[in-house]
Structure 1
Amino acid sequence: MSNAELPSLPCTAYTLQLVVHEGLLSQRSVADAMAVGCKIVGHFKHSALASSRLKDIQLQVNQPARRLQQEVQTRWNSTFYMIQTLIEQKQALGIFVSEYGLTDMLMAHQWTLQEKVISVLGPFEELTRKVSSSDAMAADVIPAVTVLHRFLTRETDEDRGIKAMKGTLAAAVRMQFTDVEENPLYGNAMLLNLRYTNRFFSSTITAANAKEMLKLELLRLPGDKQEDHDLNDPPSRKARSDQPTTSLDSMFEEITDEQASASVGKAAVGSSVELETYLGEATILREDKPLQYWMINKVQFPNLAKVADRYLSALCTSVDSERLFSSVSRKIVHCYFVWI
């Protein structure tokens, strides 16, 4: 991208991975517990007999007959899934140890630590899945960071024993995503996504700066005289889901509702009438498609629609392209063996 003199963005999924490794897995007690977990999984992976015995025990105690998930160094989510399956099979593993023995086994305090790690990493796993989807875009990054930071800094009754973990991760989030709100590739994209607009900036100052950057983009449009448009239609309000599916979903709606009153009722003057009117619109649901919104409203907001065509095309991770290359390579190998 640099050689082509094109602006580029880092992979958000990889950045989240760095946050987890630097903010949590670098802690000695957590790393030691992870190492023991990896040895347990490795034992069953390399021993068909041990794996068969564990499966029999799982069936006896009415637990899912699942293989233990192996950790993959390049994908932190696999660490999350490894811990998850270990905790799920804790009873079966305990019976296995009592009957057949095991060289490495988690101590009681390490089991407790693993459960705390799972509770802290749950939102990271959820956000990683969402930003890695095929329709995720750069507009999703600032809201994801804002919601994640709120989760990590909000104190709850369930924080007993994990407050330090959350604090360490919050610091890592701030460090890895330090300039995300000043980057126009993120800021303009979020402003032009009606799921979020200007509601997810960390301060009114960064929100105002981002809006000014978007105004500059509008001024650069060829042939644009910045004339006022007839935009007398009232903002369209859409009903939100009655019940958020996850705690992160509730935080997304919470932030949106907090900022809604600040985005309505501003006076639109001169060349900014189109932008101010758009920012006064009610946000669409998170499951709605922002590109479909611009297909419908490009007549109402013609200049913004042109800018949205550029900024809403940027993906926020390299996951989807990697999937494409992997899929193509598998097809090539398959065709090769069929030809042979």
Structure 2
Amino acid sequence: MTSYLLDCFNFSDRHTAAHLARELTRVTDEWGLGDKIVACVSDNASNIVSAVRDHLHWDHISCFAHMLNLIVKAALKEVQHIVQKVKTIVEYFHRSTVASEKLGATQKQMGQEPLRLKQDVATRWNSTYYMLKRFTEVKDPIISTLALINPSLPTLLPEEWEISREILEIIKPFEEVTTEVSAEKFVTVSKVILMTRGLQRIVARFQRNPSKFDPVKKLVDSLMSEMTKRFGRVEHNEKLADATCLDPRFKNQAFVSHQAAEDTVKRVTAAAAAINPVQHEEEDTSESAASASAGAMFWEDFDERVASLRPSAASSKTSDSMMEMRAYLAEPLLPRTSDPLAWWKRCSPVYKTLSEVMKARLCIVATSVPSERIFSKTGQIISERRNRLSPSKVRELVFLNANMP
């Protein structure tokens, strides 16, 4: 898996679907990629979705990390009063040098390693997770420091500390999935269906063993409701399903729905048949010539009778692809930690047409995080001390930074 930045430029026009589609077309045409786009992964902003689907007619896949962000942020509203208290206290320690130094000294007195509190970022739910996690890790030093300094801050009640710990336990799997699926050098798209079902099972377990705290119960119910709404038909997303089936670690065993698994196998087989080169048996040209000269009339009756028994090119391609698919599904599953691309590289001579379909599926990334990382780098290049850089110069610097080894 490799990842390249094609362009990152100043965009001064209104961000309409038509304008975005025009610029995307310009970039892909410049690189000669117009006919090689297999999918476009982005967040669910209506303008970019419309540009991709309605104007460019590309297959659009919603960023999995963005979907998880929306789900968890919606659920965290059920415990917003606690999150807001924690955020207020963290902001106080970040603003006050005296309080921050006192907290560090208190941690040392209690035999703990001095750890700075973390602030959350509005656009990233997992930053809220990291904030709560660090906050609970230094619970005792925080309580002691606040008691000594005595600022007019809303403090957490004993019950709220317990709720915070339960919140962390519930949303930790979402953080782990977000981290794993945000990779860009490993296959990720084939994990989306499995990860979604795994998260749903974990949340269902918390529902079967409910917390004694109402806010936590509401958090869990909200997580399940949001996941059902956004991922209810995830197994029927063709690109995600095809990629999962073509990952030798998962194949059709990843599906809960038998119908979805069956439909996926048929679709991948048909895609393989569509690219399967026609295999013609070499004819003995000398014999054909001899037959023609000996009198084709002799063979007319036989040829007419057996014509319907010979497979057509289309049926031959389909049967070959079906045989490949059956053999592929019969192979033992790879260990989950194996590299599926290494397996395909080794086995592509055996599964010639399936491997071609695989290339157009496992290359897809599950998230738009690689693009977000580019914007983060751009923010580091453009700073207060470098605010006179021209847009063209920034474009060149970002391009080199992203693509040079």
Equivalent residues of 1:146, 1:201 under 8 A apart: no
Relative to 1, partners in 2 of residues 1:226 and 1:63: Cα closer, same or farther, differing over 3 Å?
A: farther
Q: Could you tell me which residue of structure 2 aligns to residue 92 of structure 1?
A: 141
CA apart distance, 1:159: 4.9
Match of 2:226 among 166, 172, 180: 172
Match of 1:153 among 199, 204, 212: 204
Corresponding letter in the other structure for 2:56: A
CA apart distance, 1:210: 1.5
Q: Could you tell me which residue of structure 2 aligns to residue 236 of structure 1?
A: none
Q: What stretches of structure 1 of length at least 5 have no aligned partner? A: 228-268
Equivalent residues of 2:90, 2:118 under 8 A apart: yes
CA apart distance, 1:328: 5.5
Equivalent residues of 1:146, 1:200 under 8 A apart: no
CA apart distance, 1:223: 2.6
| Percent of residue pairs bearing the same amino acid type | 27
Match of 1:60 among 93, 96, 109: 109
Corresponding letter in the other structure for 1:85: R
CA apart distance, 1:324: 3.3
CA apart distance, 1:82: 0.6
Corresponding letter in the other structure for 1:26: K
CA apart distance, 1:136: 4.2
Residue 137, structure 1, aligned to residue 191, structure 2:
no
Residue 19, structure 1, aligned to residue 68, structure 2:
no
- Partner of 1:9: helix, strand, or coil? strand
Residue 82, structure 1, aligned to residue 131, structure 2:
yes
- Partner of 1:66: helix, strand, or coil? coil
Equivalent residues of 1:143, 1:200 under 8 A apart: yes
CA distance in 2: counterparts of 1:182 and 1:118, whole angstroms: 31
Residue 203, structure 1, aligned to residue 257, structure 2:
yes
CA apart distance, 1:163: 5.3
Matches within 5 A, 1:169-248: 169-221=223-275, 223-224=277-278
After superposition, give the CA deviation of every residue in 1:110-153 in whole Å (9 maximum; x if it has no partner): 11111110000010010000001122422111011011111122
Give the TM-score taking structure 2 as reference length.
0.67
- The higher radius of gyration belongs to 2
CA apart distance, 1:8: 2.0
After superposition, give the CA deviation of every residue in 1:38-57 in whole Å (9 maximum; x if it has no partner): 10011011111111111111
CA apart distance, 1:9: 0.9
CA distance in 1: counterparts of 2:250 and 2:221, whole angstroms: 26
> After TM superposition, where is structure 1 displaced by more than 4 Å over at least 4 residues in a row?
155-159, 224-227, 331-337
CA distance in 2: counterparts of 1:286 and 1:85, whole angstroms: 31
CA RMSD of aligned residues (A): 2.6
Relative to 1, partners in 2 of residues 1:336 and 1:94: Cα closer, same or farther, differing over 3 Å?
A: closer
Give the TM-score taking structure 1 as reference length.
0.80
Equivalences, count: 295
Q: Could you tell me which residue of structure 2 aligns to residue 264 of structure 1?
A: none
CA apart distance, 1:158: 6.7
After superposition, give the CA deviation of every residue in 1:191-210 in whole Å (9 maximum; x if it has no partner): 11112111121221211122
Bigger Cα displacement from structure 2, 134-143 vs 325-334: 325-334
CA distance in 2: counterparts of 1:179 and 1:323, whole angstroms: 29
Q: Could you tell me which residue of structure 2 aligns to residue 33 of structure 1?
A: 82
CA distance in 1: counterparts of 2:336 and 2:231, whole angstroms: 22
Corresponding letter in the other structure for 1:18: L
Equivalent residues of 1:189, 1:308 under 8 A apart: yes
